Amino acid sequence: MSDQPIKTKIKGAILEVTLDRPKANAIDVATSREMGEVFAGFRDDPDLRVAIITGGGEKFFCAGWDLKAAAGGESVESDYGVGGFGGLQELPDLNKPVIAAVNGIACGGGFEVAISADMIIASDNSSFALPEIRAGTLADAATIKLPKRIPYHVAMDLLLTGRWMDVNEAHHWGLVNEVVEPDQLMPRAWEIAKLLSSGPPLVFAAIKETIRKTETCSVQESFNMLHESRLPTVRTLYDSEDQLEGARAFAEKRDPVWKGR
**pLDDT exceeds cutoff 60 at 1:** no
pLDDT for position 181: 97
Residues 6+ apart with CB under 8 A from 231: 206, 209, 210, 213, 225
**pLDDT exceeds cutoff 70 at 27:** yes
**pLDDT exceeds cutoff 80 at 71:** no
How far is residue 68's CA from residue 65's CA, in Å, rounded to a whole number? Answer: 9
- Phi first, then psi, for residue 260 (nearest 5°) are 70, 30
pLDDT for position 228: 87
The mean pLDDT value for 45-56 works out to: 97
User: Catalytic site residues?
Assistant: 112, 132
How far is residue 74's CA from residue 138's CA, in Å, rounded to a whole number? Answer: 16
Cut 0.75: pTM above it: yes
pLDDT in tens, 127-182: 999 999 988 888 999 999 999 999 999 999 999 999 999 999 999 999 999 999 99
Tell me which of 3.40.50.300, 1.20.1050.90, 3.60.15.10, 3.90.226.10 is the CATH number of domain 6-197: 3.90.226.10
Each domain of the chain, given as residue ranges in start order, spans 6-197, 201-252
Total length of the chain: 261
Mean pLDDT score of the chain, rounded to an integer? 93
Sheet containing 119-123, strands listed edge to edge, beginning at the edge strand earlier in sequence: 6-11, 14-19, 50-55, 98-102, 119-123, 178-180
**pLDDT exceeds cutoff 70 at 43:** yes
**pLDDT exceeds cutoff 60 at 244:** yes
Query: Nearest-CA neighbor of 175 among 90, 105, 125, 100?
Result: 100
Own/partner pairs, 144-148, CB within 8 angstroms, 24+ separation:
145/112, 145/115, 145/116, 146/115, 148/215
